[in-house]
A and B are shown apart, each in its own frame.
Chain A
Amino acid sequence: MENIREYIPLLVPVIIIQLALMIAALADLIRRPRTKSAKWLWAVVIVLVNFIGPIVYFVAGREEEIEE
């Protein structure tokens, strides 16, 4: 066990990456006027499902506003 404790700091970058992905997804969700299915539902998915939640949101949840 002592062994493991020594290496805990190495997990920090992994957690930071995970948080960055989550924050980017949430920021996009807040700014977006409309999404496919309810916004609050996406917020729950993004926050609760590690990694997969934000990715599913980016792939399937965003409704593009048409430019030009």
Chain B
Amino acid sequence: MNFVIVLRKELLEQWRTFRFLIVAAVLVAFGLSSPLLAKFTPEILKTIPNMPPELASIIPAPTLADAVTQYVKNMSQFGILLALLMTMGMVAQEKERGTAALILTRPVSRGTFLLAKFTAQALTFAASLILAALGCWYYTLLLFEALPWGTFLALNGLMLLVFLVYIAVTLLCSTLARTQAATAGLSFAALILIGGIGSLPRISDYSPGRLFGWGAAMTLGSGEAAWPALWVSVGLIFAALLAAGLVFRKQEM
């Protein structure tokens, strides 16, 4: 059976299990509320009763930078969380229910099976992020001013790449583990490991998380490029998928 047929089945599955709805809803909601939050926070602070006037006067007026920072912060937290939550069942659950064995009795290679899952998840996140970015761009235009669309697009591309790293790593965990619960534990451990290693001073330039900072700075027209982090991210995606493929090939169903 070829890849396209398996991919179509996986995309249908994304819809039926509400994965697409969840990812789109959460990302779009944060895309819209990030510029709103950036705009409102100073106003809300000013309404605190008994605030000394000297303090109220030093609360800075919200800027475009606040909107972008808020967007990147929300997307990085919830995007990565969703990448883990939505991916961890993908292989493990099918093994638990026995549906994986069912599909693999048909002429589908195990590599195709995994790759179709990764591609379906990647498309889900890409489509959701496009919607979220459009929402954020429009609300930022209404509340602040127009964002430079070229660099904003690049920011979203970099964010998608980080999400793909976590999707690939969680897919590997889902392949290694027997159950969905074990996958959850394994992938949260991986998340902490990647985050922990990435926050070490010399290594941080190579960590996928660095791409968020690069993208935000680029949108605001400053900052240094972090190409090493980009190559490490691409490498991690390939390594995780390759490892998942090798493990899955040897696995008893």
Of the candidates A4, A10, A51, A64, the one whose C-beta lies within 8 Å of that of B142 is A10
Is the C-beta of B139 less than 8 angstroms from some C-beta in chain A? yes
**Residue-by-residue, is A42-68 near B (CB-CB < 8 Å gives 1, otherwise 0)?**
000000000100110011000010101
Describe B's contact surface by its main secondary structure. Answer: helix
Query: B153 interface residue, CB < 8 Å from A?
Result: no
CB contact under 8 A between A14 and B32, given known A1-B43, A66-B97 = yes
When the two chains form their complex, are residues B26 and A59 in contact, meaning their CB atoms are under 8 A apart? no
Interface 1/0 per residue, A1-35 and B, CB below 8 Å: 10110010011011001101100110010000000
CB-CB nearest in chain A for B81 = A55
B4 CB, min distance to chain A CBs, angstroms:
22
Q: Do A58 and B32 have beta carbons less than 8 Å apart?
A: no
**In the complex the two chains form, is B47's CB within 8 Å of A24's CB?**
no
Which residues of chain B are within 8 angstroms of A1 by Cβ–Cβ distance? 43, 47
Q: Is B117 an interface residue (CB 8 A)?
A: no
Contact with A along B1-36 (1 / 0, CB 8 A): 000000000000000011101100110110011001
For the complex formed, measure the closest distance between the CB of B91 and the CB atoms of chain A, giving whole angstroms: 15
Contact of A21 among B21, B33, B40, B43 (CB under 8 A): B21
Check: B239 CB closer than 8 A to any chain A CB.
no
Does residue B85 face the partner (Cβ distance < 8 Å to A)? yes
Residue of A21, A24, A28 most packed against chain B (CB within 10 A)? A21
How far, in whole Å, are A25 and B18 apart by their CA atoms in the complex?
Answer: 9
Known: A13-B32, A14-B32. A4 touches B43 (CB 8 A): yes
Q: Assuming the A-B contacts A24-B21, A28-B18, A55-B22, are A11 and B36 also in contact, with contact meaning beta carbons closer than 8 angstroms in the complex?
A: yes
A17 and B99 contacting across the interface, CB-CB below 8 Å? no
* Closest residue of B by beta carbon distance from A25: B18
A21 touches B25 (CB 8 A): yes
Cross-interface CB contact of A58 among B17, B39, B43, B143, cutoff 8 Å: B17
A51 x B97 contact (CB < 8 A): no
B25–A20 contact, CB under 8 A?
yes
- Taken together as a complex, chains A and B put the C-alpha atoms of A66 and B142 apart, in Å, by 48
Taking Cβ atoms with an 8 Å cutoff, the residues of A that contact B are 1, 3-4, 7, 10-11, 13-14, 17-18, 20-21, 24-25, 28, 51, 54-55, 58-59, 64, 66, 68
A-B contact pairs, 6 of them (CB 8 A): A3-B43, A10-B32, A10-B139, A10-B142, A20-B21, A51-B29
